[in-house]
Amino acid sequence: DADVTQTPRNRITKTGKRIMLECSQTKGHDRMYWYRQDPGLGLRLIYYSFDVKDINKGEISDGYSVSRQAQAKFSLSLESAIPNQTALYFCATSWGRDSEAFFGQGTRLTVV
Amino acid sequence: GENVEQHPSTLSVQEGDSAVIKCTYSDSASNYFPWYKQELGKRPQLIIDIRSNVGEKKDQRIAVTLNKTAKHFSLHITETQPEDSAVYFCAASIKRNTGRRALTFGSGTRLQVQP
């Protein structure tokens, strides 16, 4: 089945380290997103991309950067991880405007 | 602002009762309103969605209503069952500062169905 795959699934890293979370999809979708989930705060948008050369900031982009290496790949980087970036991170994809978003399995990141 | 407000944050019902979750949104031009269910340890998955040209949509025990004038929409679950216990998120396609639309999610409702 076509899917959205995130790696790693779990990661513990130290404060100040650079870390990359990767997302790949076999759905053939054009749009890809990174969301962060914290208890009681829902899913907040970090960055999104509508095409390979298109990158847009979401509501909480500070401290993060992204790269859309190909239509099927969208990676999220934390340049210098800090403890309040400890969260569950989801990648999602969709096709076209105003359509269902399909989520990856999530990456649980802990910054110590 | 680019907001979707969701209430309540927690909801406990007896099996067989109905559950209602409500959301409001800020962007009057929003046209797409999905609802997602997230079971413990799993990814969010779409359960139902509605577009702005429709006031109500139903799928078995689940229904969604939309009031575009008031900018609010609601999820209704009838005859609740223990397997309905999960976190539910509403979302709206909101226009952002970039001029592009992306799904903005509410803060979630934890529904517990007591057997």
Return the amino acid letter for A50: F
C-beta of residue A90 within 8 angstroms of C-beta of residue A43: yes
What's chain B's length in residues? 115
Residues of B with Cβ-Cβ distance to A53 under 8 angstroms:
none
Q: Is the pLDDT assigned to residue B22 strictly greater than 90?
A: yes
C-beta of residue B107 within 8 angstroms of C-beta of residue B6: yes
In a 10 Å sphere around its CB, with 0-12 CB exposed, 13-18 middle and 19+ buried, how is residue A83 labelled?
exposed
**Residues 6 or more apart in contact with residue A62 via CB below 8 angstroms:** none
Dihedral (CA of A40, A87, A46, A10) sign: negative
B29-46 as b/e, with b when 16 or more CB fall inside 10 Å? ebebbbbbbbeeeebbee
Q: Kindly report, residue by residue over A55-109, the tens digit of the pLDDT.
A: 999 999 999 999 999 999 999 999 999 999 999 999 999 998 899 999 999 999 9
> Which one of A98, A100, A107, A108 makes the best mutation probe of the B interface by having the most chain B beta carbons within 10 Å?
A98
A9 close to B (CB below 8 A) = no
Question: Would you tell me how many other CB atoms lie within 10 Å of the CB of residue A48?
Answer: 27
Q: Kindly report, residue by residue over B3-15, the tens digit of the pLDDT.
A: 899 999 999 999 9
If you average pLDDT over residues B70-86, what whole number do you get? 97
Q: Kindly report, residue by residue over B28-50, the tens digit of the pLDDT.
A: 999 999 999 999 999 999 999 99
CB hemisphere CA count around B26 (13 angstroms): 12
